[in-house]
Amino acid sequence: MQVSGKIKLINETQTFGASGFRKRELVLTTDEQYPQMLLIEFVQDKVDILDNYQVGQDVTISINLRGREWINPEGVAKYFNSITGWRIEASAAAVPQQGQAPKSFETTSIAQNEEPDDLPF
């Protein structure tokens, strides 16, 4: 699953417990009619991939939705969801720069100085 938008916030890496569990949170503002601010967690070895990104950058993040049950002391079940990121890519890299043709059009017959084929079939 993927989600796209603009990075609003990147928190510092947090380390928990004797095991050294690491977590880093990112807030993404989606590109929708009603933008959503999603808290996305990156854990363990994935926290370091956020070092290459900045607030304000347009990105696409590959995510997993996680859910868990917790039984409180009164015996009532509570449910929690989290969004865990595992890959992030800059959105601008997928768009050709202005004035550049997409690679699939660079080697057409016209580019090789041949006459264009104007037949309709």
pLDDT of residue 34: 96
Q: pLDDT at residue 95 above 80? A: no
* Greater pLDDT, 71 or 107: 71
**Which long-range contacts (C-beta less than 8 Å, at least 24 apart) are formed by 23-31?**
23/47, 24/50, 26/50, 26/61, 26/85, 28/3, 28/59, 28/61, 29/5, 30/3, 30/4, 30/5, 31/4, 31/5, 31/6
pTM for the predicted model, two decimal places: 0.69
Instruction: Tell whether the model's pLDDT for residue 53 goes beyond 60.
Output: yes
Mean pLDDT value of segment 56-75: 96
pLDDT-based confidence at 103, cuts 50/70/90? very low
Give me the CATH topology for the region 2-105: OB fold (Dihydrolipoamide Acetyltransferase, E2P) (2.40.50)
Domain spans in the chain, listed from the N-terminal domain onward: 2-105
